A and B are shown apart, each in its own frame.
Chain A
Amino acid sequence: MMHMKHYLLTLTIFLPLIGAILLLFINSEKKNLLKYFALAVSALTFLISLGLFFGFRDNQVGFQFLTKIEWIKSLNISYHIGIDGISLLLILLTTFLTPLTILSSWESIKHRVKEFLFFFLVLETGMIGVFASLDLLLFYIFWEAMLIPMYFIIGVWGGENRVYAAIKFFLYTMFGSLLMLVAIIALGVSAMEKLGYFTTDYTLLKTISPTLVHSTQLLMFLAFALSFAIKVPIFPFHTWLPDAHVEAPTAGSVILAGVLLKMGTYGLLRFCLTLFPQISIELAPYLSVLGIIGIIYGALVSMVQPDMKKLIAYSSVSHLGFVVLGIFALTVESNQGALIQMINHGLSTGALFLLVGMIYDRRHTRLISEFGGIAKVVPIYSTILLIVSLSSIGLPGLNGFIGEFLILIGAFKSSTLNSHWYAAFAATGVIFAAVYLLWMYQRVVFGKLENPHNKELKDLNKREIGLLIPILLFIVWIGIYPSTFLNKSELSIKSILKEVNSQKIELIKR
Chain B
Amino acid sequence: MITNYIYLTVIFPLIGFLINGLLGPKIKNEKTIGIIGSGVVGIAFIISLLAFFELLGLPAEERKVIVPLFNWISVESLNVSFSYQVDQLSLIMALVVTGVGFLIHVYSIGYMHGDKGFWRFFAYLNLFIFMMMNLVLADNFVLMFLGWEGVGLCSYLLIGFWYDRKFENSTTADAAKKAFIVNRIGDFGFLLGMFLIYKTFGSLNFDEVFTLAGKIPVAEVTITLITIFLFIGATGKSAQIPLYVWLPDAMAGPTPVSALIHAATMVTAGVYMVSRASVLFVQSEITMMIIATIGALTAIFAASMGLVQNDIKKVLAYSTISQLGYMFLASGVGAFTAAIFHLMTHAFFKALLFLGAGSVIHAMHEEQNIKNMGGLKHHLPTTYKTFLVASLAIAGIPPLSGFFSKDEILWETFATGYTFLYLIGLVTAFMTAFYVFRLFNLTFEGKPRYPSHIHPHESPKVMTIPLIILAILSAIGGFVGIPAVFVGESGNLFKNWLNPVYEPAEMFLLHVSLHSHATEILLMVISVAIAISGILLARHFYLQNIKPIEWLIDKFNRLYKLVFNKYYVDEIYNFLFVNPIVKFSEKFLWKINDTIIIDGFINGTAEMIDEIGKRIRKVQTGIAQFYALIMIFGITLIIFLLLL
Contact = CB atoms under 8 A, between A and B. Distances in A.
A428 interface: yes
A153 to B, nearest CB: 21
A409 B141 CA distance: 13
B188 A430 contact: yes
Interface in A141-173: 168, 171-172
B188 A301 contact: no
Contact of B150 (A182, A240, A303, A395): A395
Contact of B643 (A189, A406, A408, A424): A189
A424 B232 CA distance: 14
A182 B598 contact: no
A405 B141 CA distance: 12
A239 B594 contact: yes
Contacts of A355: none
Given A171-B606, A406-B73, A481-B70, A412 B78 contact: no
Contacts of A412: 195-196, 198-199
A486 interface: yes
A216 B163 contact: no
B195 A446 contact: no
B5 interface: no
Interface in B173-230: 173-174, 176-177, 180-181, 184-185, 187-188, 191-192, 194-196, 198-199
A383 to B, nearest CB: 9
B1 interface: no
Contacts of A171: 606
Given A182-B642, A397-B150, A409 B602 contact: no
Interface string A430-442: 1100110011001
A402 B73 CA distance: 8
A168 B602 contact: yes
Contact of B594 (A301, A336, A427, A434): A301
Nearest to A443: B173
Given A395-B153, A434-B181, A481-B70, A304 B590 contact: yes
A215 interface: yes
B163 A333 contact: no
A171 B607 CA distance: 12
Interface string A214-253: 0110011000000000000000100110100000000000
A59 to B, nearest CB: 15
Given A239-B602, A332-B75, A397-B146, A300 B643 contact: no
Interface string A469-487: 0000000000011110010
B195 A408 contact: yes
A486 B342 CA distance: 44
Interface stretch (B87-95, B379-387, B438-446, B578-586): B578-586
Contacts of A449: 164
B635 interface: yes
A210 interface: no
Contacts of B518: none
Contacts of B187: 430
A333 B180 CA distance: 28
B145 interface: yes
B71 interface: yes
Given A431-B185, A445-B163, A448-B164, A216 B643 contact: yes
A82 interface: no
Interface string A326-357: 00000111001100000000000000000000
A11 interface: no
A304 B191 contact: no
A183 interface: yes
B142 interface: yes
Interface string B66-77: 000011111110
Contact of B184 (A297, A408, A434): A434
A300 B606 CA distance: 28
B628 interface: no
A446 B184 CA distance: 20
B173 A446 contact: yes
Question: Contact size class for B?
Answer: 35 or more
A447 interface: yes
B195 A483 contact: no
A428 B188 contact: yes
Contact of B74 (A172, A300, A305, A483): A483
Contacts of A185: 635, 639
A304 B181 contact: no
A427 B192 CA distance: 8
A371 B73 CA distance: 39
Nearest to B157: A386
Contacts of B581: 300
Contacts of B571: none
B164 A396 contact: no
A219 B642 CA distance: 7
Contact of B644 (A189, A216, A236, A428): A216
B589 interface: yes
B195 A442 contact: no
Contacts of B458: none
B139 interface: no
A413 B195 contact: yes
Given A216-B643, A336-B75, A406-B73, A424 B192 contact: yes
Contacts of A47: none
A445 B73 CA distance: 33
A359 interface: no
A333 B75 contact: yes
Nearest to B171: A447
A448 B196 CA distance: 44
B550 interface: no
A333 B78 contact: yes
Contacts of B142: 396, 405
Given A409-B78, A449-B164, A172 B602 contact: yes
A277 interface: no
A483 B581 CA distance: 39
A483 B71 contact: yes
Interface string A389-407: 0100001110000100110
B209 to A, nearest CB: 14
A30 B231 CA distance: 65
Interface in B135-171: 142, 145-146, 149-150, 153, 156, 160, 163-164, 171
B599 interface: yes
Interface in B379-437: none
Contacts of A236: 598
Nearest to A412: B195
B624 interface: no
A428 B160 CA distance: 25
B117 to A, nearest CB: 10
A185 B149 CA distance: 51
B598 to A, nearest CB: 5
A216 B642 contact: yes
Given A409-B198, A447-B163, 10 more contacts: A186-B638, A236-B598, A239-B598, A301-B594, A303-B585, A396-B146, A427-B188, A446-B172, A481-B70, A490-B75
18 contacts: A186-B642, A236-B598, A239-B599, A242-B594, A300-B585, A332-B76, A402-B73, A408-B195, A409-B198, A412-B195, A423-B192, A427-B188, A434-B180, A442-B160, A442-B174, A446-B172, A446-B176, A447-B164
Interface of B: 70-76, 78, 142, 145-146, 149-150, 153, 156, 160, 163-164, 171-174, 176-177, 180-181, 184-185, 187-188, 191-192, 194-196, 198-199, 581-582, 584-586, 589-590, 594, 598-599, 602, 606, 635, 638-639, 641-644
The 10 closest A-B pairs by CB, nearest first: A446-B173, A304-B586, A396-B146, A412-B195, A300-B585, A446-B163, A186-B642, A332-B76, A442-B173, A413-B199
Interface of A: 168, 171-172, 182-183, 185-186, 189-190, 215-216, 219-220, 236, 239-240, 242, 297, 300-301, 303-305, 331-333, 336-337, 373, 375-376, 390, 395-397, 402, 405-406, 408-409, 412-413, 420, 423-424, 427-428, 430-431, 434-435, 438-439, 442, 445-449, 480-483, 486, 490
